[in-house]
Amino acid sequence: MEEKIDVIIVTDPGVDDAITLMYAIFCEKFNIKLLAIAGGNGPISNATNNALFLMELFKQNIPVTVGPDHPLKRPPVYATKAQGKGGLGGITVNPKKLKTKPLDIPACDAMYNTLKKGGKKITVVAIGPMTPLAEMLEKYSDSKKYIKQIIFMGGTKEKILGKPYREFNISFDPESVEIAIKSKISLVMVPMELGHFAYLDKNDIKRFKKTNKIGKLYAKMFKKYKDFHVGHLGAAVHDVCTMYYLTNPQNIKTEDTYIEMKNYKDDTAEFGYIDTSYTKKPNAKVCVDMNISDFKYDLFQALENTKKIL
């Protein structure tokens, strides 16, 4: 039997996080040790409730731990315009109906404890802002030796009229990203555009709706999920690409690249972004292309596997 991959997932459950968690659980290739919640797609309270809701929906007992309610050094600017008021598009979670609660210790401590007790190095997958991860790296200097690699969804090589693009996960808390990059832990960057290649078109969403009750729930989420790049074409699922890299690396093309945090400022905006260079010594792998048909096949297979809980 194939050995499962041990992971800690840093997430701010919005719609694409929700579909990522479904894939991560029902592709049946991961041992998910912990969900560390960050603010981002919504306030930390909403993100936490969404995570608990999804774990109850999927009948999982994966521990959920809560990170800080704000970025390390900046005021929070949430992505509710894209993700919907509650973070899950057309689904609203009633916290009073939740039966479970998060761990009663901060995410940085829970992450460290999980890593230290893991018995072997664990991969950290960040599909939201890296705030809790950065807090842990700063608080526990030895935590690096327990991390196999950090795979994160964020950043972009795209530019608009020669200017850097403000990708959400990175710009929400750029200081936390800089800590992760400078940690010298092995890094894999899954940029924004990979999710734009791997979007679910209208026929895919119809297929979701027809597959089973879980698929129908996701179709409802998608109704109010507004990825402004894909627009009316469908629903981008950026975050799933991080987990797919771990399960099917042969289907994703990467380039060895040097990445670093920079700050952009003009008369209208100021934000942090990841700059890439091919002239400096690489410090990360950057995903640049993927096999979309195989990706969708595996995603729908995970959706089919949810029948085990229905």
Q: Is the confidence at residue 233, as pLDDT, over 80?
A: no
- If pLDDT is split at 50, 70 and 90, which confidence band does 231 have? low
Q: Which two tokens stand for residue 298?
A: 């595996």
What would the pLDDT profile of 140-155 be if each residue is shown by its tens digit? 999 999 999 999 999 9
Number of domains in the chain: 1
* Residue 86, domain CATH: 3.90.245.10
Of 282, 219, 290, 271, the closest CA to residue 18 belongs to 219
Tens-digit pLDDT profile for residues 18-72: 999 999 999 999 999 999 999 999 999 999 999 999 999 999 999 999 999 999 9
Q: Tell me what pLDDT residue 62 has.
A: 98
Count the neighbouring beta carbons within 10 Å of the beta carbon of residue 116: 14
- CA–CA separation, 281 vs 76, rounded Å? 33
Q: What is the mean pLDDT of the chain?
A: 94
> Taking every pair of C-alpha atoms in the chain, what is the biggest distance, in angstroms?
57
Task: Give the pLDDT score at 226.
Answer: 74
- Is the pLDDT at 251 greater than 70, yes or no? yes
**What mean pLDDT do residues 277-305 have?**
97
Decide if pLDDT at 91 tops 70.
yes
Alpha helices in the chain (DSSP H): 15-26, 44-57, 80-83, 107-116, 131-139, 168-172, 174-182, 192-197, 202-211, 213-223, 240-247, 292-305
Is the pLDDT at 82 greater than 80, yes or no?
no
pTM of the predicted model over 0.85: yes
Q: Is the dihedral of CA 235, 194, 156, 107 positive or negative?
A: positive
Q: What confidence tens digit (pLDDT) does each residue in 268-287 have?
A: 889 999 999 999 999 999 99
Residue 171 has what pLDDT? 96
Which of 35-44, 115-124, 191-200 shows the lowest mean pLDDT across its residues?
A: 191-200
> Which tens digit of pLDDT belongs to each residue from 92-119?
999 999 999 999 999 999 999 999 998 8
The span from the first CA to the last CA of the chain, in angstroms, equals: 25
Could you list the residue range(s) of the whole structural domain that residue 170 is in? 5-309
